[in-house]
């Protein structure tokens, strides 16, 4: 029960803060532009990609995607540390794990809300052009499923970073750096000389770009599912321990 009480507060806290609405606004602007760019590119002539695939595999998408996690998560723990509200919170009969999970799922909820309007883009596309946005259900499910999977892991990274410090900016920098490293691992092969097939395969296994590109074409691969779920759980586990360590740190 405590979990839902906490979750409820976390979600409300998002929607009463101006930061959330600013993020929401600019994120919509960016994804809207990204969608427009995708449609414009397809207009130039016959293409092998669908509009869904075009949408989820551009630089605009990458940037918006990577930037949004630090913004969503940086305040989660840092703000409570800084304002001192952690004291009343942790002297109430709640478990540390409930607090960590409530904050995590609150952030996940906001992340999902952030992406909901994009579904509208494809609905409008289909209505206006009388063409199918993806050609089949697979790419839709794949792209949004992968969005959720990658999002779950990156939000966990953000939680961990926020649990580490009372300074929101520091938390944002830590999570941005780690997320960027994970997200762009796949590009490593472009910079290295003598790329062996083995190395290429290994970076592909880690590469979010690769995962997204596969999923948005409707391919289902269980490896990224296991990869992201296990990393999410591991990172949340770390967050829990970092959060507990506050008692011993001073």
Partner 1 sequence: MIKVEGLTKKYAGVTAIDGLDFTVEKGEIVGFLGPNGAGKSTTMRILSCYLPATSGRASVAGFDVASQSREVRARVGYMPENVALYPEMRVQEYLEYRAALKGVRGRRNRQRVNAVKELCSLRDVERKLIGSLSKGYRQRVGLADALLHDPDLLILDEPTIGLDPNQIRQVRQLIKDLGKRHTILLSTHILSEVEMTCSRVLIINKGRIAASDTPEALAGRVRTAGGIRAEIRAGAEDLEKALSAVEGVRKADIEPIADGWHSCLLRTDADHDAREEVARLAAARGWALRELGRDQVNLERVFAEITQSEEI
Binding residues (CB under 8 A) for partner 1: these are: 1-2, 5-6, 8-9, 13, 16-17, 83-88, 90-95, 247-248, 250
Quick one: 99 or 174, whose CB is closer to partner 1? 99
Quick one: 43 or 91, whose CB is closer to partner 1? 91
Quick one: 222 or 250, whose CB is closer to partner 1? 250
d(CA 101, CA 35): 33
Tell me the closest approach of the beta carbon of residue 96 to partner 1, in angstroms: 10
Tell me the closest approach of the beta carbon of residue 80 to partner 1, in angstroms: 9
Quick one: 177 or 245, whose CB is closer to partner 1? 245
Helix extents (H) in 165-221: 168-183, 188-191, 197-206, 208-215
Nearest Cα to 54, choosing from 127, 116, 120, 143? Answer: 143
Tell me the closest approach of the beta carbon of residue 5 to partner 1, in angstroms: 4
Residues 6 or more apart in contact with residue 94 via CB below 8 angstroms:
2, 6
Tell me the closest approach of the beta carbon of residue 249 to partner 1, in angstroms: 10
Computed on alpha carbons and rounded to an integer, the radius of gyration of the chain in Å comes to 20
d(CA 21, CA 33): 18
């Amino acid at each position: 029960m405590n979990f839902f009480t906490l979750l409820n507060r976390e979600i409300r806290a998002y929607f009463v803060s101006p930061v959330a609405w600013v993020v929401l606004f600019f994120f919509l602007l960016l994804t809207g532009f990204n969608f427009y760019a995708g449609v414009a590119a397809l207009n130039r002539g016959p293409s092998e990609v669908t509009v869904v695939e075009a949408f989820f595999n551009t630089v605009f998408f990458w940037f918006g995607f990577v930037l949004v996690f630090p913004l969503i998560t940086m305040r989660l723990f840092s703000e409570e540390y800084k304002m001192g509200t952690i004291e009343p919170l942790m002297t109430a009969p709640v478990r540390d794990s409930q607090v960590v999970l409530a904050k995590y799922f609150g952030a996940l909820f906001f992340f999902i809300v952030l992406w909901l309007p994009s579904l509208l883009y494809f609905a409008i596309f289909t209505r206006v052009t009388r063409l199918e946005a993806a050609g089949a259900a697979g790419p839709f499910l794949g792209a949004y499923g992968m969005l959720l999977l990658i999002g779950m892991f990156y939000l966990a990274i953000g939680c961990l970073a926020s649990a580490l410090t009372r300074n929101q900016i520091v938390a944002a920098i830590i999570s941005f750096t780690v997320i960027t490293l994970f997200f762009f691992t796949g590009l490593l092969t472009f910079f290295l000389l003598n790329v062996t097939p083995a190395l290429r395969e290994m970076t592909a296994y880690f590469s979010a770009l690769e995962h997204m590109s596969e999923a948005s074409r409707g391919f289902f691969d269980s490896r990224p599912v296991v990869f992201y779920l296990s990393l999410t759980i591991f990172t949340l586990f770390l967050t829990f321990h970092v959060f507990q360590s506050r008692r011993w740190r001073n």
